[in-house]
Amino acid sequence: MTQDRVPQVGAVEMAGERAEVVDGGQVCGWAGASRLLRSKRYGVGTPQPWEPGRSPTQGQRGCQGYRGGDSGGVEGYDSGMSDSGERFSNSAGDAGAGAAEYVRACLELLGDRDPWAVQAELVPELRRLTAGLSREEMARPEGAGKWSILEVVRHLADTEIVYGYRMRLILAEDDPQIPGYDQDLWARALGYQEADLEATLLELEAARAGSLRMLRGLGEAQWERAGHHAERGRETVRGIFRLLAAHDLIHRRQIQRIRDAHGLG
């Protein structure tokens, strides 16, 4: 299946996960995406086609999509960009329509890198990327409607809590329901811009170490246990683990991009 020609209605297999294809030939979210596309909350009347290689527009909001981590408006396309700046949109509040493309882009970014190694190096890399920066520099948004370095780091800490909870929920319960969340709402309501960098890094470091320690003890069958995400549908522990590693890489690139945008090197 090519990116620009998809079935009108149905499902596709992407990296071992099922992705729903809703009317209009739009790859969007997983389960519940069509409903979300029509949600008044996002000001969308009907699904609109998504053009491969282009960030979603206002008219495409409503499913888990382009923006910081688990949810951007709602969950999905993280707040980092590819080299072209198009595969991972960073405009606050944008929710993308291409959930299957998001998974594909994430896994392409991860490539053959070891997800264990990627996750273990997150905090050291964040310390490197923030070394020598003043609070004013870390709190400066990349641009209008975009996050600052401080907000990205705080988002990573909260994502670790959310994804750690989800994996534990799946391991403890049979086919649990997994709610999504609005990451931009969290950023505003939880004061990401006022976060303390060192405290946030220590929190992230402890949460990540705890999750990796838990995951090292899993048997093969446990890795394949799954829950039902409110918007993405079926997700396995293994799938969440790999996406989280890719998510780390996306935001590390984003922080470097923000540094470059402000001449911080």
- pTM for the model stands at 0.70
Nearest to 48 by CA among 97, 100, 104, 102: 97
Q: Could you give the angle at which helices 237-261 and 149-172 cross, rounded to 10 degrees? A: 180
Homologous superfamily of 113-261? dinb family like domain (1.20.120.450)
**Residue limits of CATH 1.20.120.450 in the chain:** 113-261
pLDDT, tens only, 91-110: 333 333 456 677 778 889 99
CB-CB contact of 106 with 36 (8 Å): no
CB-CB contact of 251 with 112 (8 Å): no
**Cα 84–chain centre separation:** 18
pLDDT, tens only, 165-180: 999 999 999 999 999 8
Statement: residue 264 has pLDDT above 50: yes
Residue 24, pLDDT score: 31
